Amino acid sequence: MILTITLNPALDVTYRVDEIVLHGSHRVRSVHERAGGKGVNVSRVLHQLGHATTATGLLGGVIGEQVRADLDAAGLDSAFVSIAGTTRRTVAVADPDDVTIFNEPGPTVTAAERDGLADRLGQLGRRATCVVMSGSLPVGLGPETYAELCAMLKTLPRALPQTQPPSPAGPSPDLTDQSVRSHPALLVDTSGPALIAAAEAGADLLTPNAAELADATGIHDPYAAARHLRELGAGAVVVTRGPDGMLAVTPDGVWSARLDERLVGNPTGAGDAATAALALGQASASRGVDWHQSLREAVAWSAAAVPVAHAGELDLATLDRLRPLVTVTKET
Amino acid sequence: MILTITLNPALDVTYRVDEIVLHGSHRVRSVHERAGGKGVNVSRVLHQLGHATTATGLLGGVIGEQVRADLDAAGLDSAFVSIAGTTRRTVAVADPDDVTIFNEPGPTVTAAERDGLADRLGQLGRRATCVVMSGSLPVGLGPETYAELCAMLKTLPRALPQTQPPSPAGPSPDLTDQSVRSHPALLVDTSGPALIAAAEAGADLLTPNAAELADATGIHDPYAAARHLRELGAGAVVVTRGPDGMLAVTPDGVWSARLDERLVGNPTGAGDAATAALALGQASASRGVDWHQSLREAVAWSAAAVPVAHAGELDLATLDRLRPLVTVTKET
Chain B CB within 8 Å of residue A23 CB: yes
From the number of C-beta atoms within 10 Å of its C-beta (0-12, 13-18, 19+), residue A85 rates as: buried
pLDDT at A310 over 90: no
Q: Is the pLDDT of residue B168 over 80?
A: no
Give the nearest chain B residue to A87 (CA atoms): B31
Residue A157 has a pLDDT of: 74
pLDDT in tens, B212-270: 999 999 999 999 999 999 999 999 999 998 888 999 999 999 999 999 888 888 788 89
Nearest Cα residue to A128 out of A112, A150, A144: A150
Q: Tell me: the pLDDT tens digits for A218-267?
A: 999 999 999 999 999 999 999 998 888 999 999 999 999 999 888 888 78
The mean per-residue pLDDT over the stretch A10-17 comes to 96
Does residue A28 lie in a domain region?
Answer: no
Contact A102 B31 (CB under 8 A): no
The answer to whether A99 faces chain B, any CB pair under 8 Å, is yes
CB within 8 Å: B30 and A103? no
Q: Which residues contact A69 (CB under 8 A, 6 or more apart)?
A: none
Closest to A25 (Cβ–Cβ): which among B25, B26, B101? B101
A 143-182 near B (Cβ less than 8 A): none
Per the domain annotation, does A263 fall within a domain? yes
Of all residues in chain B, the one with the smallest CA distance to A62 is B62
Task: Give the span between the Cα atoms of B269 and B282, in whole angstroms.
Answer: 20
In this prediction, residues A282-298 reach a mean pLDDT of: 89
Q: What was the pLDDT predicted at A268?
A: 81
pLDDT value for B173: 45
Task: Name every chain B residue with its beta carbon within 8 A of the beta carbon of A102.
Answer: 15, 17, 26, 28, 91, 93
With CB atoms and an 8 Å threshold, state whether A25 touches B103: yes
Question: Domain tally for chain B?
Answer: 1
Domain assignment present for residue A273? The answer is yes
Mean pLDDT of chain B: 91
Find the domain containing B226 and state its range: 2-8+37-87+107-330
> Scanning every residue of chain A, which has its alpha carbon at the shortest distance from the alpha carbon of B17?
A102
Contact (CB<8Å) B23/A100:
yes
* Range of weakest confidence among A73-77, A176-180, B275-279: A176-180
B102 and A CB contact within 8 Å? yes
Give B267's DSSP letter: G
Please indicate whether, in this complex, the C-beta atoms of A28 and B104 are within 8 angstroms of each other.
yes
Interface membership of B96 toward A (CB under 8 Å):
no
**Which long-range CB contacts under 8 A does B180-183 form with residues at least 24 apart?**
B180/B286, B180/B287, B180/B288, B181/B286, B182/B158, B183/B153, B183/B154, B183/B155, B183/B156, B183/B158
Across the range A29-43, mean pLDDT stands at 96
pLDDT at B172: 46
Residue B177 has pLDDT above 90, yes or no: no
pLDDT at B33 over 60: yes
Contact state of A26 with B98 under an 8 Å Cβ cutoff: no
Asked if B219 has any chain A CB less than 8 Å from its own CB, the reply is no
B84-134 per-position pLDDT tens digit: 999 999 999 999 998 999 999 999 999 999 999 999 999 999 999 999 999
Would the pLDDT of A177 be above 80? no
d(CA B214, CA B237): 13
CA distance B13 to A86: 14
Q: Please give the share of chain B, as a percent, with pLDDT higher than 90.
A: 82
> Over pLDDT 70: what percentage of chain B?
92
User: How does residue A286 score in pLDDT terms, banded at 50, 70 and 90?
Assistant: low
Q: Mean pLDDT score of chain A, rounded to an integer?
A: 91
Q: A91 forms bridges with which residues in the sheet?
A: A13, A102
Q: Is residue A19 part of a domain?
A: no
Q: For A125-145, what is the mean pLDDT? A: 94
Provide the pLDDT for residue A170: 47
Contact (CB<8Å) B27/A105: yes
Q: What is the mean pLDDT of residues A276-280?
A: 97
Q: Give chain B positions within 8 Å (CB) of A26.
A: 100-103
Determine whether the interchain pair B23/A97 forms a contact, defined as Cβ–Cβ distance below 8 Å.
yes
CA distance B60 to B88: 9
Q: Please indicate whether residue A311 or residue A231 has the higher confidence score (pLDDT).
A: A231
Q: Which residue of B has its CA nearest to A92?
A: B25
Mean pLDDT of B184-192: 96
Give the highest mean pLDDT range of A76-80, A165-169, A173-177: A76-80
Does A91 reside within a domain? no
Least CB–CB distance from B27: residue in A15, A17, A103? A103
Q: In the beta sheet, which residues pair with residue B316? A: none
Specify the CATH number for the domain of residue A55. Answer: 3.40.1190.20
- For residue A277, is it within any domain? yes
pLDDT at A166: 52
Q: Which residues of A touch B31 (CB under 8 A)?
A: 104-105
Is residue A211's pLDDT more than 60?
A: yes
Q: B67 lies in a domain?
A: yes
DSSP A176-222: S---S-SS-EEEEE--HHHHHHHHHTT-SEE--BHHHHHHHH---SH
Confidence check: pLDDT of B300 > 70? yes
Residue B288 forms part of a structural domain: yes
Report the residue from A23, A66, A98 with minimal CB separation from B62. Answer: A66
* CA distance to partner chain B, nearest, from residue A102 (Å): 5
Task: Identify which of B23, B28, B99 has the shortest CB distance to residue A104.
Answer: B28
Buried b (16+ CB within 10 A) or exposed e, B96-124: eeebbbbbbebbebeeebbebbbebbeeb
Parallel, antiparallel, or unpaired: how do β-strands B10-16 and B30-36 relate?
Answer: antiparallel
Chain B: give the shortest CA distance to residue A41, in Å: 20
Interface residue B19 vs chain A (CB under 8 A): no
pLDDT at A48 > cutoff 70: yes
Q: Does B93 touch chain A (CB under 8 A)?
A: yes
pLDDT: which is higher, B102 or A178? B102
